[in-house]
Each structure stands twice: as C-alpha cells, then as structure tokens.
Structure 1
C-alpha cells in the first residue's frame, strides 16, 4: 500500500499538462478566413475571368478565323441558341 501512493500521485500530476495557445482560439478562425480570402483574390487575379474581352471582339468575321477556332465558335453558338 505504501508503494501505491507515490504512483497514484505521479499519475495525477502527469495528467495536469497545460499547453497554452499563442493566441485566443477565435483568432485562428479569423486569421484562416483572411488568408483564404487573400488566396482567393490571388487566384481570381490570374484567372481569365478577371478580364473580359472587348465587345468588338465578339463581332469578328468568322471566315477569318482558323478552322479549329471557327469550329469552337460554331459549337458555342449552337449551345447558346438552344
């Protein structure tokens, strides 16, 4: 019985380990939101959606286009006019 007391005390003391965070818990969410928003903005900056073509580009002469581009325009127009 005398040997069990120090073991129980050592086990109880070892269970009380406190690892404190460097900041409060809600700041992790705020920082993550800001970082993901910045990454989204950087992604949209490099995507072709960020720059729209001029309206004059839409009305080019289709016969002047290369054959693969003319086919792409024709398939797009067919899908759009359904």
Structure 2
C-alpha cells in the first residue's frame, strides 16, 4: 500500500505533465515528407540509369565482334534459355 501512495496522491491532485512540442505537429509530417523526397532525389541522382546502354536485342548486331569471354558468356546464357 505504501508503494502506490504517491500514485494515488498524484491522481487525486490532478497532476498533469505536459510535454510541449517545439513546433506544430503538422510540421513534423512536412519535415518527414521533405526528408523522404531529398533521400529519393539522392538515390535517383546516383542511379546508373543515365550511363546504361539501351537494352535492345540489336545492341551487338555481330556476335563475332564480341571479345572471347563475352561471346562465351552469351553462348552459355542462351544455352540455358534454350535458344
């Protein structure tokens, strides 16, 4: 009974602790949104999409022009695909 006495007294007195936020709550959401947009733009800026060649079937029109190791890799890949 002695351990709960301060809790009972605080409840009877109507003790109310208020932790005020430093800004309006909506600004937390706006700040988070802007942070995620900044992270998205940083990710997009470092993506290799701008340096990759177009993915077409006619990228290497002449397979004989490929170096030997790439020609072997292409042949092994096409053998797995069944072409």
**Structure 1-normalised TM-score?**
0.55
- Per-residue deviation, 1:72: 5.0
- Measured at CA, do residues 31 and 52 of structure 1 come closer, stay the same or move farther in structure 2, by a change above 3 Å? same
- Per-residue deviation, 1:19: 0.8
Segments of 5+ residues of structure 2 without an aligned counterpart are none
- Per-residue deviation, 1:68: 4.0
> Per the alignment, in what secondary structure is the counterpart of residue 18 of structure 1?
coil
- Measured at CA, do residues 13 and 44 of structure 1 come closer, stay the same or move farther in structure 2, by a change above 3 Å? same
- Measured at CA, do residues 64 and 72 of structure 1 come closer, stay the same or move farther in structure 2, by a change above 3 Å? closer
Aligned-residue CA RMSD (Å): 3.8
Deviations 1:1-23 (A, max 9, x none): xxx9xx736863533x1111111
CA distance in 2, matches of 1:65, 1:53: 18
**Structure 2-normalised TM-score?**
0.54
- Measured at CA, do residues 9 and 74 of structure 1 come closer, stay the same or move farther in structure 2, by a change above 3 Å? closer
Segments of 5+ residues of structure 1 without an aligned counterpart are none
Q: What is residue 69 of structure 2 aligned with on the other side? A: 67
Deviations 1:26-49 (A, max 9, x none): 110111001111111101111112
Q: What is residue 20 of structure 2 aligned with on the other side? A: 20
Count of residue pairs the alignment pairs up = 72
